[in-house]
Amino acid sequence: MSTSHTSQKSHKSSKSQILEGSQAIAQVINNIKPAVVSAYPITPQTHIVEDLAKLKADGKAKYEYVRAESEFAAASIVAGASATGVRVYTATSSQGLLLMTEVIFNIAGMRLPVVLTCANRGVSAPITIWNDHQDAMTIRDAGWIMLFAENHQEAIEQHLIAYKVAEIAKLPAMVNIDGFVLTHAYEDVVIPTPEQVKKYLPDYKPTKGEFLDPSNPITFGAFATPLHYQELREELQNDLVDSQKLINEAYEKLQKTIPSVIKPKEKHTRINNGLLEYYGPKNPKIIIVAMGSVVGTIKDAIDEINKKISLSSSVGVLKIKTFRPFPVSQISDITKKAKYVAVIEKAISLGSVGPLMLEIKNANQGKAKIQNFIVGLGGKDITKKIIKQITEEVKKNNNETKFIAN
């Protein structure tokens, strides 16, 4: 199983709690104070929306909780609510995300700042309820900001950043958390208070003319002729790419406003911002690139490796926090220093290579030899032994995509 890396700092001085990942996310969403929450339960997302429904039933939440008959309906409900100029939230997993696909594209095209939590899970067939990233990768071209969390604390910070950036850039944002590994596991986590959240994320007040208003009629999702369609897609593309700056600014502001919410810096972390994190030696021979909770296992594995080998043979890990927009230049600056790059991912673009591999190949401007390793599909365990095996395999300079398992 992927595991969260043990931090070098403790949260104990900041009123930390031991919470299930889903419970922590539900609490921070309640403190963010959306006006409308709508979702349909699907494993392993269910605990998030159950907790949100309970908070509402117990009188601890003010949002309108709309029970939907499907994920398609839930996505449509939050799209409609967002179009009226209010803050909204939804969550889903796997087949549920696929059922939302039509609306997911519409939300981005209409520039609605919807925030969605995807509890990542493999897709059918055969059916699986366990974690990999194939669901999120299926809709990676929809026009959403896509963030991936390593652990509970990072998931909390990313939800705050998601709302901050979405509401400024008028772009939807998806926070991806690994199903069961994060949704159902318990970790030490700091939840910001409603007062802290409001200081960082004031009440959402969209500009007049950007939401549905009978006294000032506007159009969302208008019919576009060939003369205009490409221009609108180009505008969405440019704004999504430009949101990299906003993501880093939102991260830095969060660090200053609510420092206890930011995942503590670890001993070997050299670069850490809203887009990515580099953990390891200054000039590694091998860099492992990965996303999500597996990074915790990788960090533990390379700590053990680096204790036993010379600096000239050392290994580092580059964690991609923001998959969309993809931070090409920052990744290139890091990977060009290595001789070998191992791209480890829990998804495969069937008939090609892993989706992350395609992005890293495009970003790598150095002479590093890159190889793709597919792991953990359908929840298959990812151990330190596998990571150590990959650091040996990548030196063989074999370009084929490899499926690795115990």
Report pLDDT digits (tens) over 226-248: 999 999 999 999 999 999 999 99
Please give the mean pLDDT across all residues of the chain.
94
What 3 state SS string does the chain have? Answer: CCCCCCCCCCCHHHCCEEEEHHHHHHHHHHHHCCCEEEECCCCCCHHHHHHHHHHHHCCCCCCEEEECCCHHHHHHHHHHHHHCCCCEEEEECHHHHHHCHHHHHHHHHCCCCCEEEEEECCCCCCCCCCCCCHHHHHCCCCCCEEEECCCHHHHHHHHHHHHHHHHHHCCCEEEEEECCCCCCCEEEECCCCHHHHHHHCCCCCCCCCCCCCCCCCCCCCCCCCHHHHHHHHHHHHHHHHHHHHHHHHHHHHHHHHCHHHCCCCCCCEEEECCCEEEECCCCCCEEEEECCCHHHHHHHHHHHHHHHCCHHHCEEEEEECEEECCCHHHHHHHHCCCCEEEEEECCCCCCCCCHHHHHHHHHCCCCCEEEEEECCHHHCCCCHHHHHHHHHHHHHCCCCCEECCC
Report pLDDT digits (tens) over 19-46: 999 999 999 999 999 999 999 999 999 9
Report pLDDT digits (tens) over 149-195: 999 999 999 999 999 999 999 999 999 999 999 999 999 999 999 99
pTM for the whole thing?
Answer: 0.96
Report pLDDT digits (tens) over 266-300: 999 999 999 999 999 999 999 999 999 999 999 99
Q: Which domains does the chain have, with CATH numbers?
A: 12-260 (3.40.50.970), 269-403 (3.40.50.920)
The pLDDT value given to residue 83: 97
